[in-house]
């Protein structure tokens, strides 16, 4: 059985207008399957496992969320954040700058139950939006003109 991580009373709210959360044992906790379903629901999203047990979700070849499958049902999650959100999240117990990419405002959640389902969904959507905005655009299918043969 996995026990939820308790949040501090001064934890920031990810989305405006969010009501205070109810005790964690009443709220369904997002697991690997929930995260996978959400990430693959975005346009142009794909999944890849470039480093062992790390499942990465990409938009047009750029990673927007990563989960560590070796952690089990409630894995560590890495995602990109807006600068203001990043600093607020670091005040929450169980959230830290992601190794190697923290300076680029990537956060790592100790497990998927650190935040509520709604807060985690908002963060994953934000990560997707930030990465998709800078990912290479789709290449338009171009028709090649038939080559003319040179006369000898």
Q: Is the pTM of this model over 0.75?
A: no
Distances (CA, A) of 131 to 13, 18, 101, 104, 113: 22, 25, 14, 12, 24
Q: Is 119 helix (H, G, I), strand (E, B) or coil?
A: helix
Q: Does residue 145 register a pLDDT over 60?
A: no
pLDDT per residue as tens digits for the range 23-71: 545 556 788 888 999 999 999 999 999 888 899 999 999 999 999 888 8
Other residues' Cβ atoms within 10 Å of the Cβ of residue 64: 25
The tokens for 83 are 């600068």
Q: What are the pLDDT digits (tens) for 68-87?
A: 888 887 889 999 999 999 99
Closest CA to 11 of 67, 64, 103, 85: 85
Q: For 87-132, what is each residue's pLDDT tens digit? A: 999 999 999 999 999 999 999 999 888 888 999 999 999 999 999 9
Domains along the sequence of the chain with CATH:
27-132 (3.90.1150.30)
């Amino acid at each position: 059985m996995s026990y939820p991580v308790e949040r501090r009373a001064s934890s920031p709210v990810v989305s405006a207008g969010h009501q205070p959360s109810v005790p964690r044992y009443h709220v369904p906790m997002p697991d690997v399957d929930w995260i996978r379903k959400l990430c693959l629901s975005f346009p142009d999203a794909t999944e890849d496992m470039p480093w062992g047990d790390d499942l990465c979700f990409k938009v047009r070849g750029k990673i927007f969320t990563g989960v560590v499958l070796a952690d089990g049902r409630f894995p560590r999650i890495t995602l990109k954040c807006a600068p203001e959100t990043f600093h607020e999240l670091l005040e929450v117990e169980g959230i830290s700058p992601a190794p190697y990419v923290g300076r680029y405002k990537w956060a790592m959640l100790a497990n998927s139950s650190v935040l509520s389902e709604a807060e985690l969904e908002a963060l994953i959507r934000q990560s997707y939006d930030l990465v998709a905005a800078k990912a290479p655009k789709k290449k338009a299918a171009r028709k090649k003109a038939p080559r003319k043969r040179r006369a000898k």
